[in-house]
Amino acid sequence: MNPVHVSVAREARLRVFLYDHLHPDSINIVRRKEAFNDIANTVRNEFNNAIIIDADRANAIYCYLRREYSSINLRLARGELDIGMLTNKQIEILSSMQFLEHFARHRNGERNVNLRGV
C-alpha cells in the first residue's frame, strides 16, 4: 500500500468524528474540512513537502480506503474470500483501517470479520 495512504489512515484514526457517526462533530462540515486540511498538512510535512496533497485529496484517499475496507470485509463475511486469498495490499488495507471495525456496518446486517490474527 502507498505510504501516503498509510499516513492518511493513521491520521484519520486520530480523528474519531470522521468515522463515528454518533460523535457530535460528525455532521459538522467545517470541522471535517479542517480535519482533512490538517491531515493533508501532516502528510506533506511527513514527506518533507515532496508529496502534493490537499484536503480534497486526503478526503478522497480516506473514502477510498474506507470503501475498500468495507468491501473486503463484506466479501470475507459472505465467504466469497478466504483470508488466505487476500493480497498484500488487501491485508494492509484491512490492518490500517481496522479501527473501523465497530463503526462500519453492512446494509444487509452482516457482521464484520475479526482479523486480529492477520
Three-class DSSP labels, the chain: CCHHHHHHHHHHHCCHHHCCCCCHHHHCHHHHHHHHHHHHHHHHHHCCCCCCCCHHHHHHHHHHHHHHHHHHHHHHHHCCCCHHHCCHHHHHHHHHCHHHCCCCCCCCCCCCCCCCCC
43 assigned to some structural domain: yes
116 assigned to some structural domain: no
Please report the pLDDT score of residue 9 as a whole number: 97
Widest CA span of the chain, in angstroms?
44
81 assigned to some structural domain: yes
pTM of the model: 0.85
**Amino acid of residue 68:** E
112 assigned to some structural domain: no
Q: What is the pLDDT of residues 17-55, one digit of tens each?
A: 999 988 999 999 999 999 999 999 999 999 998 889 999
115 assigned to some structural domain: no
Domains contained in the chain, number: 1
* Domain, as residue range, for 100: 3-107
21 assigned to some structural domain: yes
113 assigned to some structural domain: no
Share above pLDDT 90 across residues of the chain, in percent, rounded to a whole number: 70
